[in-house]
Copies of this chain bind each other. A is one copy, B any other.
Amino acid sequence: MTNPTAAILVIGDEILSGRTRDSNLHFLAGELTRIGITLREARIVADIHPEIVAAVRALSGKYTHVFTSGGIGPTHDDITADAVAEAMGAKIGHRADAMALLQAHYDRSGLPFNEARQRMARIPDGASLIDNPVSTAPGFTLGNVHVMAGVPKIFEAMVASVLPKLTGGPPLLSQTLRVDRGEGEIATSFGALAAEFPDLSMGSYPFIQNGAHGTNLVIRGTDPGRLDQAMVKLTRMFG
């Protein structure tokens, strides 16, 4: 049995221009690993309607789940909801449930529920809302696409709302052995070990520290017993 798969689609010119460094991808990657959903791909696209539509279609057809980040606020560059609706063949408009949530929020805060803010109630037909405990404006799940805000604090709160509803497989476990040798020295025996344990995934991650080459050897898998067996052999080789 293989675990469900996922992709994340980050929407935002500000990441691609180098202005902002994305953190949502890294956060989601850790959370999905923990609950046994395998993140297989990430994409970042600009705030361009047809680009978002094409990416949502491609990823939605290929993976169990797609998570999007960004572009669901009140400004003119927030075009994700409409693009996701188009990609999934759904109609979109100001939905009554989202309008009611936002109306109550702005009534409480005394701010006008103006036309721009009402844009945040644009939710595709058939979508279920994702709770936003930080600033009320909801995300949504449409088919296998989970649409969330880009502000990290809100994205993380929305992930916490969504993940308990998803079914994962056994969590992906990993163990790491750090060796103070370059990859070229350990490659042959490490490759042989990887071939001996085809049910595990083994990766080699070189680094340079204080001018010296070192390597982190990482073994991943869902069966803790097999992971331990491989780790014993690895430690005997290089420990």
| Residues of A near any B CB (own CB < 8 A) | 13-23, 25-33, 39-47, 51, 73-78, 111, 114-117, 119-120, 134-135, 151, 153-154, 172, 174, 182-188, 190-191, 194-195, 201-208, 213, 218, 220
Query: Are B75 and A135 in touch, CB under 8 angstroms?
Result: no
B-chain residues with CB within 8 Å of residue A195 when the two chains form the complex: 76
Query: Are B40 and A206 in touch, CB under 8 angstroms?
Result: no
Query: Are B183 and A74 in touch, CB under 8 angstroms?
Result: yes
Can you name 23 A-B residue pairings with CB atoms under 8 Å?
A15-B25, A16-B39, A17-B33, A17-B39, A17-B174, A18-B26, A18-B31, A18-B32, A20-B205, A40-B46, A41-B43, A41-B46, A42-B42, A42-B43, A47-B203, A73-B183, A75-B191, A77-B203, A116-B184, A116-B188, A117-B187, A151-B207, A153-B208
Give min CB distance, A14 to chain B, whole Å: 6
Query: Are B187 and A116 in touch, CB under 8 angstroms?
Result: yes
B-chain residues with CB within 8 Å of residue A187 when the two chains form the complex: 73-76, 116-117, 119
Query: Are B33 and A75 in touch, CB under 8 angstroms?
Result: no
Q: How far is the CA of A98 from the CA of B31 in the complex (A)?
A: 41
Number of copies: 2
Closest B residue to A77 by CB, please name it. Answer: B203
Query: Are B115 and A188 in touch, CB under 8 angstroms?
Result: yes
Q: How far is the CA of A151 from the CA of B216 in the complex (A)?
A: 12
List 10 other contacts, CB 8 Å, given A43-B43, A76-B187, A77-B203: A18-B27, A21-B26, A75-B183, A75-B190, A75-B204, A76-B190, A111-B182, A115-B188, A117-B184, A151-B207
B-chain residues with CB within 8 Å of residue A17 when the two chains form the complex: 29, 33, 39, 172, 174, 220
